[in-house]
Amino acid sequence: EADIYQTPRYLVIGTGKKITLECSQTMGHDKMYWYQQDPGMELHLIHYSYGVNSTEKGDLSSESTVSRIRTEHFPLTLESARPSHTSQYLCASSAAGPPNQPQHFGDGTRLSIL
């Protein structure tokens, strides 16, 4: 059973607010990822990390930022939320090794910016 947790599960907030989406995993995985998904669409990778102090931007341009100070924690921050940021955000982790290592996902944060 995968142990990866995201909080909050749902967030409705006004434009201009600073938001931090939390993601923690207890599996000791080196690799962590953030995806953005809109209804009926594919998951788009927006950030990833291959270890502590390592972060990279994904394929989909995002105004969010991430940090990886501890192995188990990979928070995503939006400095000033806008309605265009409304989406579902999914965090995932995987063990080190080849790209076919299955990624374990959290249950996501559904974000609505008014």
Binding site for another protein (CB under 8 A): 2, 4, 6, 35, 40-45, 48, 58-59, 90, 92, 98-100, 102-108
Q: Which is nearer to another protein, 42 or 70 (CB)?
A: 42
Supply the minimum distance, in Å, between the C-beta of residue 94 and another protein: 9
Q: Which is nearer to another protein, 35 or 74 (CB)?
A: 35
CB atoms within 10 A of CB 48: 21
Supply the minimum distance, in Å, between the C-beta of residue 44 and another protein: 8
- CA distance linking residue 86 with residue 68, whole number of Å: 24
Supply the minimum distance, in Å, between the C-beta of residue 102 and another protein: 4
Q: Do the Cβ atoms of 113 and 81 come closer than 8 Å?
A: yes
Q: Which is nearer to another protein, 17 or 30 (CB)?
A: 30
